Amino acid sequence: MAPTQNVPNSMYRSTEGLGVWEHRGKVAAVGIGHSPTARRWDERVETSIGSWAILALRNAMEDAGVSPDQVDGMVVVPAATTGDQWSPTNSIPEDFASTYQLTDNLNDGISSMSAEWLLKNMPELTNVNFTMHANGCMSNAVVTAAQAVGDGLTNTCLVLKTWNNLSGRYGHEAGSNSLDTAPGNAQWSNPWGWGAAAITFAYLFDQYCRKYGKNHDMMAPFVVNEKKNGLFFPEGFWAQHRPEALSVEDYLAARWIAKPANLFDCDLPIQIAVAYLFTTSERAKDMKQKPVYILNHASDRTNVKSSVQTLQECEDATDSVGRKLYEGAGITAKDLSFENMYDGYTIFHQFHIEGLGYAGIERGEALDLYQTDITNEGPNPVSPSGGNAGSGRTRTWMHTDCIQQIQGRAGARQIRKPAEIGVSGGPTTTGGNFTVWSSTP
């Protein structure tokens, strides 16, 4: 098999005016596979992301009722962390090296993942003839797999995202942000910590509040509900390890990380692997679980022209995503039963759902919606998965929940209204991938 390639731009639906997706309702998600969760990797072979990736993939096949020899495709997110890679000065743990076949990338299975590593270490996958790497997060892998199945590149496709969390520094403290000096254009931003919640989205949220007359306290019902939903997600980190409810008072009293973003506006890095199984709608009829049909996928590749992303650029991008999703799916905002847009920092969820016009809201009205009944029991469920805030940093809970809601397998998170059409995706407001899911083709 040829080396795995990255997703070509031609597979993304990133412009408006493309019309209804040519594969609307012809691709379905069927199986779900999760590994356990951990706060950090303890450097044991059985808790490595390599071990957990294999477990998640096997769980997804078992869940769908598919034997490994029936799988002919695999889409994998190669980046397994937004933190540090396994240091070149560290030797590969002896038990890991003796358990698994290694690739030329010594990070494989430890702090990154490749289709090649998986095929070397899952000998039961004898008929895989299509592989592709989708950079970034599960949202990218989901739209890639949907397009690949629709295009006939693969018939029964595994989709995988791993998250690794090594001990030590994390996230945006890695790479150029960890250097003693700030070279080039970074000299204007890095010395002041301009990255992630610690300025970028706090700045945008501050601009949002100023424009629309809102305030940070109005976020409390949303974040408390996120935590509540997460505790009903048995696969999640908080449900497994820290089943602690969050009150409005707790949220309002939390320390600032970058005002107006506080501790509970940020997600918790964890270790996990998550997999799905996609196939054709025709093939899905014979599988164990109810098919969840994909009506459309859309991507945003906004070229931010400002030195710092502005509120207008953010709103324009999310408005465009909403139009692309509805156009390609042949639906309107009124057809949505629920939404599971990304919440890696809770303070940008409102940009996504206002772009969708979810529950009839317009710009500046999401925080007003949060003051109403947004629970899974109510008429307008907001983020029924609980998202990253409710279960830990994976960028996958939203997709798992969409599939489970429509299959009627969300347990205590199951929304009370009929779960017919949902939407999920992310991560950021000017760069992400999004999917429309449906109970019918």
Give me the DSSP letters along 374-387.
-STTSSS-B-TT-H
Q: Does the pLDDT of residue 185 top 80, yes or no?
A: no
CA triple 427-433-434, angle to 5 deg: 100
Going 290 to 395 to 248 to 238, the CA torsion angle's sign is positive
Q: Does the pLDDT of residue 428 top 60, yes or no?
A: yes
Half-sphere exposure of residue 312, counting CA atoms within 13 Å on the CB side?
Answer: 2
| DSSP SS3 for 169 | coil
Domains and CATH numbers, the chain: 17-169+269-284 (3.40.47.10)
Instruction: Give per-residue pLDDT as tens, 259-284.
Output: 999 999 999 999 999 999 999 999 99
- Cross-strand bridge partners of residue 31: 277
Q: Does the pLDDT of residue 147 top 80, yes or no?
A: yes
Per-residue confidence band for 310, with pLDDT thresholds at 50, 70 and 90: very high
Quick count: other Cβ atoms within 10 Å of Cβ 2?
5
Going 392 to 279 to 382 to 261, the CA torsion angle's sign is positive
Tell whether omega for the bond before 427 is within 30 degrees of 0, i.e. cis.
Answer: yes
Evaluate if pTM is beyond 0.85.
yes
Name the average pLDDT for the chain. Answer: 93
Instruction: Give the integer Cα–Cα distance in Å for 23 and 141.
Output: 17
At position 42, the amino acid (one-letter code) is: D
Give the pLDDT confidence score for residue 394 in this predicted structure. 94
Tell whether omega for the bond before 8 is within 30 degrees of 0, i.e. cis.
Answer: no
Per-residue confidence band for 301, with pLDDT thresholds at 50, 70 and 90: confident
| DSSP SS3 for 407 | helix
Q: Exposed, middle or buried by CB within 10 Å (0-12, 13-18, 19+), for 5? A: exposed
Per residue, the 3-state secondary structure of 52-119, as one string, reads HHHHHHHHHHHHHCCCHHHCCEEEECCECCCCCCCCCCCCCCHHHHHHCCCCCCCCECCCECCHHHHH
